[in-house]
Amino acid sequence: MQRRIRMLAVLASAATIMATAAVANAADPLLSQGKPVTASTQSGCCTAAAAVDGDSATRWASTGGVDPSWIYVDLGASVHVSRVRLQWDKSCATAYEIGVSNDKTTWTKIYSTTTGKGGVEDLTTLNGDGRYVRMLGTKRCRTDAAYGYSLQEFGVYGTNGGGGDTVAPTPPGKPELVSATPSSATIKWGAATDNVAVTAYDIFRDGQLCASTAGNVLQGTCNNLNPNVTYGFYVNARDAAGNVSQASETTPVKTPPSNDTQKPTVPTNVKSSNVQSTSVGLSWTASTDNVGVTGYNVFNVSGGTSTKVGSTNGTSITVGGLTPNTAYHLQVTAFDANGNESAGSTPLVDVTTSGGSSCTPSQGMCTVKQVGTDDDVVWGLVTLPDGTILYNQRDAHTIVHMNPATGSKKTIGTVPNVQSTSGEGGLTGLEINPKSFSSDNWLYIMHTSPNDNRIVRIKYDPAADSLLTSTEQVLVSGIQRNKFHDGGRLRFSPDGKYLFAGTGDAQNGDNAQNKSNLNGKVLRINPDGTIPSDNPFGNAIWTLGHRNIQGLAFDSQGRLWEQEFGNSIMDETNLIEKGGNYGWPKCEGTSGSCGGFIAPKKTYPVGSGSCSGITIVHDALYVACQKGERIYRHEISGSSLVNSKQFFSGTYGRLRTVEPAPNGGIWMATSNGGDKDSTPHNSNNKIFHVTVA
Query: Which residues are bridge partners to 213 per DSSP?
Result: 201
Mean pLDDT of 27-35: 85
Nearest to 380 by CA among 399, 357, 364: 399
How many residues make up the chain in this entry?
693
Mean pLDDT for 227-234 is 95
Phi, psi of 284 (to 5 degrees): -160, 170
Cα 485 from Cα 503, distance rounded (Å): 8
So what's the pLDDT on residue 6?
A: 35
Average pLDDT, the chain: 92
Is omega for the bond preceding 347 within 30 degrees of 0, making it cis?
yes
Q: Specify the pLDDT at position 24.
A: 34
From residue 132, give the alpha-carbon distance in Å to each of 98, 101, 153, 658.
11, 5, 16, 48
User: SS3 for 663-678, per residue?
Assistant: HHCEEEEECCCCCCCC
Is residue 203 within 8 A of residue 248, CB to CB? The reply is no
Predicted local confidence at residue 606, as pLDDT: 86
* pLDDT digits 0-9 by tens, 590-602: 999 999 999 999 9
Least confident of 76-85, 212-221, 454-463: 76-85
Partner residues linked to 234 by β-bridges: 204
- Please count the helices (runs of H) and the strands (runs of E) in the chain: 1, 49
Residue 164: predicted pLDDT: 63
Residue 7 has pLDDT above 90, yes or no: no
Do 571 and 563 meet the contact criterion of CB atoms below 8 Å apart?
A: yes
Tell me the β-bridge partners of 109.
99
Alpha-carbon dihedral angle through residues 633, 362, 669, 204, given to the nearest 10 degrees: 30
**How confident is the model at residue 79, as a pLDDT?**
87
Q: What's the rounded Cα separation, in Å, for the pair 52 and 71?
A: 11
Tell me how far CA of residue 340 lies from CA of 260, 559, 651, in angstroms: 8, 46, 20
Distance (Å) of CA 594 to CA 581, 583, 590, 598 = 10, 6, 7, 8
Q: Is the pLDDT of residue 556 over 90?
A: yes
pTM of the model: 0.79
Does the active-site annotation cover 681?
no
CA distance 495 to 499: 10
Q: To which H or E segment does residue 438 belong?
A: helix 437-440
Residue 214: pLDDT above 90?
Answer: yes
Task: Decide the pairing of beta strands 37-39 and 120-123.
Answer: unpaired
- Give the percent of the chain with pLDDT over 70: 96
d(CA 562, CA 489): 10
Q: Residue 45's pLDDT is what? A: 87
Average pLDDT over residues 550-574: 96
Contact predicate 602/562, CB 8 Å: no
> What is the structure's pLDDT at 117?
85
How far separated are the first and last CA of the chain, in Å rounded?
53
Burial class (CB in 10 A: 0-12, 13-18, 19+), 261: exposed
Pick the closest to residue 377 from 443, 431, 426 (CA basis): 426
Q: DSSP readout, 602-620? A: EEEEGGG--EEEEEEETTE
pLDDT given for residue 577 in this prediction: 98
What pLDDT, in 10s, does the model give residues 654-679? 999 999 999 899 999 999 999 989 99
Taking a C-beta distance cutoff of 8 angstroms, is the pair 245, 169 a contact? yes
Omega before 267 cis (within 30°)? no
Per-residue b or e along 35-53, where b marks 16 or more CB atoms closer than 10 Å to that residue's CB? eebebbbbeeebbbbbbbb
One-letter amino acid at 406 equals T
| pLDDT score, position 57 | 87
Task: Over range 614-640, report the average pLDDT.
Answer: 97
Classified as helix, coil or strand, 635 is strand
Say which DSSP state 248 is in.
P
d(CA 499, CA 166): 30
Distance CA(329)–CA(47), nearest Å, equals 78
Q: How many CB atoms lie within 10 A of CB 319?
A: 24
Integer Cα distance of 485 and 63 in angstroms: 48
DSSP 521-566: SEEEE-TTSPPPTT-TTSSSEEEB--SBEEEEEE-TTS-EEEEE--
* DSSP, res 343: P
Dist CA 396 CA 415 (whole Å): 10
Express each pLDDT in 366-393 by its tens digit.
999 999 999 999 999 999 999 999 999 9
Identity of residue 365: M
pLDDT tier at 517, thresholds 50, 70, 90: very high
What residues form DSSP beta bridges with 129?
80
Q: C-alpha 335: how far from its chain's center?
A: 34
Strand 230-239 vs strand 198-205: parallel, antiparallel, or unpaired?
A: antiparallel
User: Among 72-86, 209-223, 391-405, 587-601, which is the least confidently predicted range?
Assistant: 72-86
Kindly indicate the confidence band of residue 533, based on its pLDDT and cuts at 50, 70 and 90: very high
Check: CB of residue 412 under 8 Å from CB of residue 462: no
pLDDT tens-place string over residues 232-290: 999 999 998 888 999 999 999 999 999 999 999 999 999 999 999 999 999 999 999 99
Single out the catalytic residue among 401, 447, 485, 546.
Answer: 485
**Residue range 601-619: mean pLDDT, rounded:** 93
Q: What pLDDT is recorded for position 163? A: 53
What are the tens digits of pLDDT across the range 302-347?
A: 999 999 999 999 999 999 999 999 999 999 999 999 999 999 999 9
Question: Hey, what amino acid is at 581?
Answer: N
Q: Is the pLDDT of residue 518 over 60?
A: yes
What does the pLDDT read at residue 161?
61
pLDDT at 22 over 50: no
d(CA 196, CA 217): 17
| CA 622 to chain CA mean position, Å | 18
- Give whole-number Cα distances, 36 to 49, 51, 82, 86, 171, in Å: 7, 11, 20, 17, 43
Structure confidence at residue 27 (pLDDT): 66
d(CA 654, CA 425): 18
> For 132-153, what is each residue's pLDDT tens digit?
999 999 999 998 888 999 999 9
